[in-house]
């Protein structure tokens, strides 16, 4: 079923390259505010305002609402650049943009309610259906809590996993519900070693009524069905699980890029290698080899990211749903990116030395942020590789539905 959208009165015509450039321009600001973001345990409002003014929360919003409706590759490149400035800011921007993209899978009425009212509306989300629901006329009443809601401190709406029940109370489906943040409370639970500024706290709902038009069934979306598709909006044809998995990788690549820049800047100042005769570390073959290897690993991570994004974008534009094998390869790419980014930063820590772990050194924050975000459950490199191996060997039985 498709619908014809109303024409855009004042469409954005910003190119992908300009969006990426806007993100890069914010790097100095994000670096200046990185320590404060950690201390506050939420992204500072100056960053949020700058991101909004640059239109970077509209990356995945439909053009008919004044958004950019940029492809996935563009969104990921924006996130990479932001992570060069601050991991937490990049993470919440990434998760907000992918949740905003997900709104394009809901009914036209729901989209109008969110983006029609405010094109700069920000949506956070947790897919796990950790709630209970009760049937009500015209919708469901939701009770429950959802952990790790990144970006919730700055969101106006939340997209949350729920069980869908019938009038008899039987669970008949799994869904996503859109709930205004004003109907939810936030439980302060995010006390962690890295990505402290994401404020990935727990959302709580107590007898919140959600109308049917703000609920969507998940299983059809996983297999590529789009009951609310709008002609010409190919971005929202993108394969759901590959998108949700791949977006977790962009900040990891950007953090590794930041680590490389920190080391290059330090070496350019002429620092030596302690307890050796090298008064300029950059002249030592060991330094040169490790920096080059790290740079190649980062390039590899970026190339995997862009290949996977290209697979998803190409299929979406063609109106096709990715087959199992390319979907499984995206999951494998997600795991590979995590490995390559961590390996690169490990080498760069060797070069940068023990001073990397001084509290005043941004290197330690990059390291902690990367080690934290690359442990997201969907990233798990070993599980991701097993998924791909089973697909390559035509093993019918898979280990997860999230492919």
Kindly report, residue by residue over 256-266, the tens digit of the pLDDT: 999 999 999 99
| Cα 59 from Cα 78, distance rounded (Å) | 9
> If you average pLDDT over every residue of the chain, what do you get?
95
Compute how many other C-beta atoms are within 10 angstroms of the C-beta atom of residue 143.
14
Q: How far is CA 208 from CA 170, 184, 185, 324, in A?
A: 19, 8, 11, 37
Residue 154 has pLDDT above 90, yes or no: yes
- Joined tokens for residue 314: 């190409």
Exposed/middle/buried for residue 75 (C-beta within 10 Å: 0-12, 13-18, 19+) = buried
pLDDT of residue 74: 98
Give the pLDDT band (50/70/90) at residue 13: confident
The model's pLDDT over 358-386, given as tens digits with 9 standing for 90+, comes to: 999 999 999 999 999 999 999 999 999 99
Compute how many other C-beta atoms are within 10 angstroms of the C-beta atom of residue 290.
19
Domain topology for 2-116: Butyryl-Coa Dehydrogenase, subunit A; domain 1 (1.10.540)
CA gyration radius, the chain = 22
Residue that is written with structure tokens 């990505």 in the block = 195
Rounded to 5 degrees, what angle do the CA atoms 16, 115, 42 make? 75
Residue 1 has pLDDT above 50, yes or no: no
Does residue 101 contact residue 236 with C-beta atoms inside 8 Å? yes
Question: Three-class SS of residue 146?
Answer: strand
Rounded mean pLDDT of 134-148? 97
Q: Which helix (H) or strand (E) holds 263?
A: helix 240-268
- Joined tokens for residue 310: 């290209």
Residue 118 has pLDDT above 60, yes or no: yes
- 215-217, strands of its sheet edge to edge: 123-126, 157-165, 171-180, 215-217
| Cα 304 from Cα 388, distance rounded (Å) | 14
| Cα 67 from Cα 300, distance rounded (Å) | 31
Looking at the chain, the domain(s) classified CATH 1.20.140.10 span 238-392
Instruction: Using the Cα atoms of residue 317, residue 319, residue 322 and residue 326 in order, give the sign of their dihedral.
Output: negative
The rounded percent of the chain whose pLDDT value lies above 70 is 97
pLDDT of residue 11: 47
Q: Which CATH number fits domain 238-392: 1.20.140.10, 1.10.3720.10, 3.40.50.970, 3.20.20.20?
A: 1.20.140.10
| Cα 35 from Cα 40, distance rounded (Å) | 9
| Cα 268 from Cα 282, distance rounded (Å) | 8
pLDDT of residue 336: 98
pLDDT of residue 2: 41
Residue 270 has pLDDT above 70, yes or no: yes
Question: Three-class SS of residue 367?
Answer: helix
Rounded to 5 degrees, what angle do the CA atoms 218, 222, 228 make? 65
Looking at the chain, the domain(s) classified CATH 2.40.110.10 span 123-217
| Cα 29 from Cα 50, distance rounded (Å) | 9
Compute how many other C-beta atoms are within 10 angstroms of the C-beta atom of residue 17.
10
Q: Does the pTM of the predicted model rise above 0.85?
A: yes
pLDDT of residue 7: 36
Residue 311 has pLDDT above 90, yes or no: yes
CATH architecture assigned to 123-217? Beta Barrel (2.40)
| Cα 127 from Cα 104, distance rounded (Å) | 16
């Amino acid at each position: 079923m498709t619908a014809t959208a109303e024409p855009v009165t004042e469409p954005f015509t910003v190119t992908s390259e300009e969006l990426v450039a806007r993100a890069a321009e914010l790097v100095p600001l994000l670096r200046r505010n990185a320590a404060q973001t950690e201390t506050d345990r939420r992204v500072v409002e100056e960053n949020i305002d700058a991101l909004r003014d640059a239109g970077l929360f509209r990356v995945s919003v439909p053009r008919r609402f004044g958004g950019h409706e940029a492809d996935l590759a563009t969104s990921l490149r924006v996130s990479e650049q932001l992570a060069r400035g601050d991991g937490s800011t990049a993470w919440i921007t990434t998760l907000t943009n992918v949740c905003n993209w997900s709104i394009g899978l809901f009914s036209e009425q729901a989209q109008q309610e969110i983006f029609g009212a405010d094109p700069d509306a920000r949506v956070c989300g947790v897919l796990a259906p950790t709630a209970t629901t009760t049937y009500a006329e015209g919708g469901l009443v939701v009770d429950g809590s959802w952990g790790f809601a990144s970006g919730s401190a700055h969101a106006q709406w939340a997209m949350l996993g729920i069980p869908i029940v019938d009038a008899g109370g039987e669970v008949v489906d799994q869904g996503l519900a859109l709930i205004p943040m004003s109907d939810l409370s936030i439980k302060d639970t995010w006390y962690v070693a890295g990505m402290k500024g994401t404020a990935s706290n727990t959302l709580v709902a107590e007898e919140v009524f959600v109308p049917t038009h703000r609920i969507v069934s998940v299983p059809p979306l996983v297999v590529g069905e789009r009951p609310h598709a709008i002609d010409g909006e190919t971005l929202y044809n993108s394969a759901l699980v590959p998108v949700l998995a791949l977006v977790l990788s962009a900040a990891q690549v950007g953090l590794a890029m930041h680590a490389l820049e920190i080391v290059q800047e330090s070496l350019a100042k002429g620092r030596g290698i302690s307890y050796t005769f090298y008064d300029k570390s950059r002249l030592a073959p060991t330094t040169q080899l490790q920096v080059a290897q790290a740079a190649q690993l980062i390039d590899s991570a970026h190339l995997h990211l862009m290949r996977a994004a290209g697979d998803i974008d190409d299929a979406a534009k063609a109106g096709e749903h990715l087959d199992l094998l390319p979907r499984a390869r995206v999951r494998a790419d997600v795991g590979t990116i995590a490995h390559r980014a961590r390996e690169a930063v490990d080498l760069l820590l060797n070069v940068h030395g023990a001073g990397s772990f001084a509290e005043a050194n941004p290197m330690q924050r990059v390291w902690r942020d990367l080690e934290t975000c690359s442990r997201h459950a969907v990233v798990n490199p070993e599980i991701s590789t097993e998924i791909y191996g089973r697909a390559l060997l035509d093993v019918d039985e898979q280990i997860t539905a999230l492919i």
